[in-house]
Chain A
Amino acid sequence: MLADIGLFALIVAFLLAVYATIASAWGGWKNQQAYVESARNATLLVVPLLTISVGVIVYALYSLDFSLAYVEDVSSRSMSPFLRLTALWGGQAGSILFWAWLMSGFVAAVLLRKWERDRDLMPYFIAVAMLTTAFFIGISVFIINPFARLWHIPGATELTRAIFQPAGAMAYIPQDGQGLNPLLRHFGMIGHPPTTYLGFTGFVIPFAFAISALATGRSRSDEWIRTSRRWTLVAWIFLSIGLVLGGRWAYDVLGWGGFWGWDPVENAMLLPWLTGTAFLHSMMITEKRGMLKGWSVMLIILTYSLVLFGTFITRTGVISSVHAFSKTALGPVFFVFIGLTFLGSLALLLKQRDTLKTKHEIESFMSREAAFLLQNLLFLAITFAVFFGTVFPLISELVTGTKITVGPPYFQKVTGPLFAVLLLLMGIAPLIAWRKQAARSLGRAMLIPFVASLGVAGIWGYSHRVHPASFFALWLVSFVVLSIFFEFWKGVRARMNAQSERPVVALGHLIGRNHRRYGGYIIHLGVVMIGLGFIGDAYFQQESQRALTIGESMSIGDYSLRFDNLETFPGSDGREVLEASTSLFKNGEFVRTLQPRRDFFVVQQQPVTVPAVHSTPATDVYVLLVGWEEIGLQSSTFKIYLNPLISWTWTGGIVLILGTFIAVWPQATGKRRVSYSLKPGKFRPQPSAGD
């Protein structure tokens, strides 16, 4: 009964979404406001309807209503109530519905804002955004319906899934479900899909604005770019959080000692993040200087196309093939949809490209504009390299008949140097003025961070002489961090002199007065910290593997590990746990006990290796239990990784979120401006001060 309500709400939501698409496009074309208003109301109705559908599924998962095939797929009696709720995004059918729900929420939120000068963008904005939403709701209704039930047709060997009762079939209600894939039972994987989906679906907003601006010929004005900026940042930060959580999950659960494996599924998320980041920066020049308009529009179209591309390859298993969600009608339908989106937006962009021409040109290569452009080109180069590596298995199979997967070495070699230049630019660009910068004053501005970073890198690199490139990498990080700190220091000192403020107060006011700029710097700091994790992973990781009997030790770097005990016991969520107790020593002194485990999920017959990690800012000790003999023999094999600097990645993720919050915080009130104009003679913003 409840399921029928959910299904009904889903179908009505689909019809309304289709109606909103058509009515708004018609209203925009014929300039009839009434149709647009009606489309807007229909859009706003889709959200509560989908909320009902999602609510029904969540309740069914929680209450273990196995009459629904989806509940049988991802929920089970042995799962805790919390895990049952997260099973909403644990399988294809639920996650598509969840996706559609989030997207409709974003679109509705935009429609609830004030539409003033950009009111004529609304019709096509609704049309584009609701077309996409209708597509995803349509998949949920027609292809992988979460309300499908299991039926037994006499004589058939397998059960049939259908919404309505097939002729002669009997309803089949299993006693228990298969439960969520054990690998997904981790906080990283519980938080990763919602944040990633929020990021992915959020990009539909700037995309719909861009297409609407192109279609109405309003792309000449900058208004839509201002509106899109905050929405883009929202999508971008969720995508960033999704990336960090995904990395954390891989590190904690997959047990190969790292957090980023350049897997097609990971790349699928990274690609839109790269172009999205480029877009956020190019947008700033468009806003400040009215330049690179066409470029910005192209970047947002590219970002959204990559979102669809990523969703397509992960959902259809075109690239990562083994037992993905293949052989449904989803693939062909999705293919047609992304084909139409790519070609339609490209045709529109090319048709309107003369409206995107700008008067200003870059005046000097030593200017903030040029630095931004170079940064954008670097991001695009990295995007292309990652894209090429991701689709390479398909290309190789087409050309040579053999699927050749390019591994992490390709990605590291190609993108490493590009990322290094990007980091360098991150340290220098904020010091360069708009329009034109004299080389000499730039040199002066960079002098202190440059000299200081050489000192830091010299000492730091000398104590970790593993690889010559590590010196350079550590210098780079030091330089960027110091130049950001130096920018903060200059601002704080100026305020302390001008306003006689204490340093902490001055810092607070500095950030408060120009939160976009200083929020941006904090985001940069977060990125550098994440980069530090990658540097540690690339140059300093050590590993060692040995079989130990109880009481024996093995050592790696300054650490040694003693095997104390091995025991087995039944754990929660239907697993058998095999846990080793080990003692970790550093330079002979006891640090703590570590308990690497192997969990065996009985129903799924799936083992999961759970590492034990001792994490410090300098290094992580990552211990895996990789092999064991019968308990009585008291011998086990351990693998230890020393992962220097990796914990900075997680800290960096938090700093990144903090910086984004500061950057999107609504513009300060005029009150502080008054205090600024009281002493115009003393306090002068830096000539390079931008946003």
Chain B
Amino acid sequence: MTEMTTEAITEAPGKRVWLSGLGTVLIYAFVLGVLGLLGWGLMKVNSGQRESGMAPDFTLTSFDGESVTLSGLRGQVVIINFWASWCPPCREEAPYLESTWRKYQDQGVFFIGVDYADTEKEALAYIDEFGITYFNGPDVGTRIAQDYRMDGVPETYFVAKNGELRGTKIGPLFPPELDQRIEELLAETYAGE
């Protein structure tokens, strides 16, 4: 850098040196900014799904206009399933999810279907097609998906009665996996109960 600066001085007054110095700083700042952005994006992609700790709280409004808040469901086992009408593997698990919901709905289990990046018309047709009766709503702005660092659909998150995450299933669920997970979560007991 030093030889360049001296040559620039012989050529033009100090202002020019200052400007070219500023230009250099700006170029480096831009390149480092782009790299920082990519690095940050990469960290997010590579960090994977949330698997443990308290499940991030959210409020979801269903297609019928009702609302549910996760923290308001303490004491129940909550199954959060991310899906989309455009997702073929989701169709594979849909009947199993619905039948499991019907089996456990009176035993302190709550199902939340989070519709990811979808259009309402197609989503409602999907719900209708599989006769889905559990709570379902669109993830507006994909905020819930981001909080859970969801990576694709379908993905299912298992929430214990105390609100803690007890693992994730990537890809469709098949019998008897969901029954087993629910039974395990129902069997959990906590001090003071």
Contact = CB atoms under 8 A, between A and B. Distances in A.
Contacts of A343: 31-32, 35
Interface in A393-409: 394-395, 397-398, 401-403
B28 interface: yes
Contacts of B142: 402-403
A394 B41 CA distance: 7
A451 interface: no
A316 B28 contact: no
Nearest to B171: A323
A319 B1 CA distance: 36
B44 to A, nearest CB: 8
A76 B29 CA distance: 49
Contacts of A312: 38
A331 B4 contact: no
B4 A316 contact: no
A350 B27 contact: yes
B141 A327 contact: no
A605 B92 CA distance: 9
Contact of B28 (A313, A332, A346, A402): A346
A323 B152 contact: yes
Given A322-B151, A403-B146, A605 B89 contact: yes
A335 interface: yes
Contacts of B37: 391, 394-395, 398
Contact of A354 (B4, B31, B48, B153): B4
B9 interface: no
Contact of B42 (A335, A353, A397, A398): A335
Main secondary structure of the interface of B (DSSP, over half): helix
Nearest to B23: A350
A395 to B, nearest CB: 7
Contacts of A174: none
B40 interface: yes
Interface string B21-37: 00010011001101101
Interface residues of A, number: 36
A335 B38 contact: yes
B22 to A, nearest CB: 13
A322 B152 contact: yes
A353 B4 contact: yes
B56 interface: no
B89 A351 contact: no
Given A605-B89, A606-B88, A402 B143 contact: yes
B45 interface: yes
B39 interface: yes
B191 to A, nearest CB: 32
A351 B146 CA distance: 43
A398 B92 CA distance: 35
Contacts of A323: 151-152
B35 A339 contact: yes
Nearest to B87: A322
Contact of A351 (B4, B34, B38): B4
Contact of B35 (A313, A342, A353): A342
Contact of B3 (A324, A326, A354): A354
B133 to A, nearest CB: 25
B7 interface: yes
Interface in A588-603: none
A452 interface: no
B189 interface: no
A404 to B, nearest CB: 8
Contacts of A401: 143, 146
16 contacts: A316-B42, A318-B41, A319-B41, A321-B151, A322-B151, A326-B45, A338-B38, A350-B1, A350-B24, A354-B3, A354-B4, A394-B38, A394-B40, A398-B40, A402-B146, A606-B88
Given A402-B141, A402-B146, 10 more contacts: A318-B41, A318-B42, A321-B151, A327-B48, A339-B39, A353-B4, A394-B37, A403-B142, A605-B89, A607-B88
